Amino acid sequence: MGYKLTPAGLAALLDELVTSRRVFGPVRYAGKGRLAGTDLITYGPVKGLADVVWDARTTFSPKEVFFPVKESLFYFSHGEITESALKASEILETVVFLRACDLNAVTRLDKIFLENGPAADNYYARRRQHTHFVLMECQESFPGCFCVSMGTNRATGHQAALRPEGGYYLLQALAEPWLSLGERYGQPADVEPVWVQKNSLTVKVPDRVDTSLFQHELWREYSSRCIACGRCTLSCPTCSCFSVQDIFYRDNPERGERRRVWASCQIDGFTDMAGGHKVREDRGERMRFKVLHKIDDFRRRFGINMCVGCGRCEEVCPEYISFARCVNTLSQLMNGGAGA
């Protein structure tokens, strides 16, 4: 069902929604941007319509709503282990406003955490099962996006789709509570989602990647240029790596907790093993690992590319390293070209 809402109508709808649900979306943190005098647009709690930023891409992705940066898995005390429990606020139904690329990214995370082994990851599943999505339709592409190339400009799996248009908001309600809320706060209307049809950036993912490219000189540029800061992976909506740490409390070393914390394949120490063995010390090799995982390894396992073309990794990289350019170079090399 479709509905047309005035700004006051959508504001009232959200005021009702937040009384029974946690709502997250792109919000503005004034003066917290990467450059002096700029704002940070990122995911945060939404208390009302005025909080939602419609016209900018977030620096970080929505994944931390259901895959926190750090999370206690269990507590230990004198040989006893107690699994961590979610707070009452964390088992409330949760609504996340996100764009088509990020909704596609959720399907990638679901594959890793729920389908990639004999059992689902309980810690991910317990948050994810309470999380629902509202699609924020992109009427125009942001600079650096390549969702059309990746086939992630369209999405499914959301409860509702919403866009501002002509001074109103157009809502496509696909499930409750949006059907009831649309009835109550809007007027019936014909509403179909709008999908971005063109990006300024086009990326050609190679159909296959030959192992001869593993030693290609193209990776050497990244060996010197990449500073191993990990920003690209922390901002990526599809990266899922974490490390596990045991924390012993200072006041009683017999007690403590096991935590998992986001990790990055780009930073020093990620591949360190017992005995001092390190698998990928060279930063160019780390870049190769990341890029091929996003556009080749994952596809071999699940049949879809991991990268959803959101463009964040390039936007946040302090060294202006372009993931898209790297993938296009790989395509040219696989087609017999010299690469960019």
Q: To the nearest whole angstrom, how small is the minimum distance from the Cβ of residue 194 to ligand SF4?
A: 21
Q: Does 63 bind ligand SF4 (CB under 6 A)?
A: no
4/108 with CB nearer ligand SF4: 108
98/236 with CB nearer ligand SF4: 236
- The stretch among 88-96, 132-140, 222-230, 251-259 that binds ligand SF4 (CB under 6 A) is 222-230
Q: Does 232 bind ligand SF4 (CB under 6 A)?
A: yes
Q: Does 234 bind ligand SF4 (CB under 6 A)?
A: no
Q: Does 236 bind ligand SF4 (CB under 6 A)?
A: yes
Q: Does 111 bind ligand SF4 (CB under 6 A)?
A: no
Q: Is 93 helix (H, G, I), strand (E, B) or coil?
A: coil
Q: Does 194 bind ligand SF4 (CB under 6 A)?
A: no
CA-based torsion, 145, 150, 154, 159: positive or negative: negative
CB atoms within 10 A of CB 159: 17
- Ordered strands of the 70-77 beta sheet: 80-83, 70-77, 255-262, 242-248
Q: Does 331 bind ligand SF4 (CB under 6 A)?
A: no
As given in the structure block, the two tokens for residue 73 are: 């898995």
- The stretch among 70-78, 85-93, 170-178, 318-326 that binds ligand SF4 (CB under 6 A) is 318-326
182/311 with CB nearer ligand SF4: 311
Q: Which of 301, 280, 292, 299 is nearest to 327 (CA)?
A: 292
Please give the helix or strand (H or E) that residue 248 lies within, else none: strand 242-248
CB 170 within 8 A of CB 191: yes
CB 109 within 8 A of CB 240: yes
CB 115 within 8 A of CB 62: no
Q: Which of 153, 148, 189 is nearest to 172 (CA)?
A: 189
Q: To the nearest whole angstrom, how small is the minimum distance from the Cβ of residue 66 to ligand SF4?
A: 17
Supply the Cα-derived Rg of the chain in whole angstroms.
Answer: 22
Q: Does 229 bind ligand SF4 (CB under 6 A)?
A: yes
Interacting residue with ligand SF4 among 94, 141, 172, 238 (CB under 6 A): 238
As given in the structure block, the two tokens for residue 95 are: 């609504």
Kindly state the DSSP code that residue 250 receives in the 8-state scheme: T
Q: Does 230 bind ligand SF4 (CB under 6 A)?
A: yes
Could you give the string, one character per residue 288-307, with x where binding to ligand SF4 holds by CB under 6 A and - elsewhere? ------x------------x
Kindly state the DSSP code that residue 129 receives in the 8-state scheme: T
With tokens 């248009």, the residue in question is 165
Interacting residue with ligand SF4 among 112, 160, 308, 326 (CB under 6 A): 308
Kindly state the DSSP code that residue 90 receives in the 8-state scheme: G
Interacting residue with ligand SF4 among 169, 262, 312, 328 (CB under 6 A): 312
Q: To the nearest whole angstrom, how small is the minimum distance from the Cβ of residue 33 to ligand SF4?
A: 17
- As a whole number of angstroms, the distance between CA 316 and CA 60 comes to 9
Q: To the nearest whole angstrom, how small is the minimum distance from the Cβ of residue 120 to ligand SF4?
A: 23
Q: Does 210 bind ligand SF4 (CB under 6 A)?
A: no
CA-based torsion, 271, 276, 278, 281: positive or negative: positive
Q: Does 55 bind ligand SF4 (CB under 6 A)?
A: no
As given in the structure block, the two tokens for residue 161 are: 């789709």
73/292 with CB nearer ligand SF4: 292
Could you give the string, one character per residue 257-276, with x where binding to ligand SF4 holds by CB under 6 A and - elsewhere? ---------x----------
Q: Is 287 helix (H, G, I), strand (E, B) or coil?
A: helix
181/308 with CB nearer ligand SF4: 308
**# residues contacting ligand SF4 (CB under 6 A):** 25
173/226 with CB nearer ligand SF4: 226
Q: Which amino acid is at 321?
A: I
CB 57 within 8 A of CB 312: yes
Interface residues toward ligand SF4, by CB under 6 A? 226-232, 235-238, 266, 294, 307-313, 317-319, 321, 323
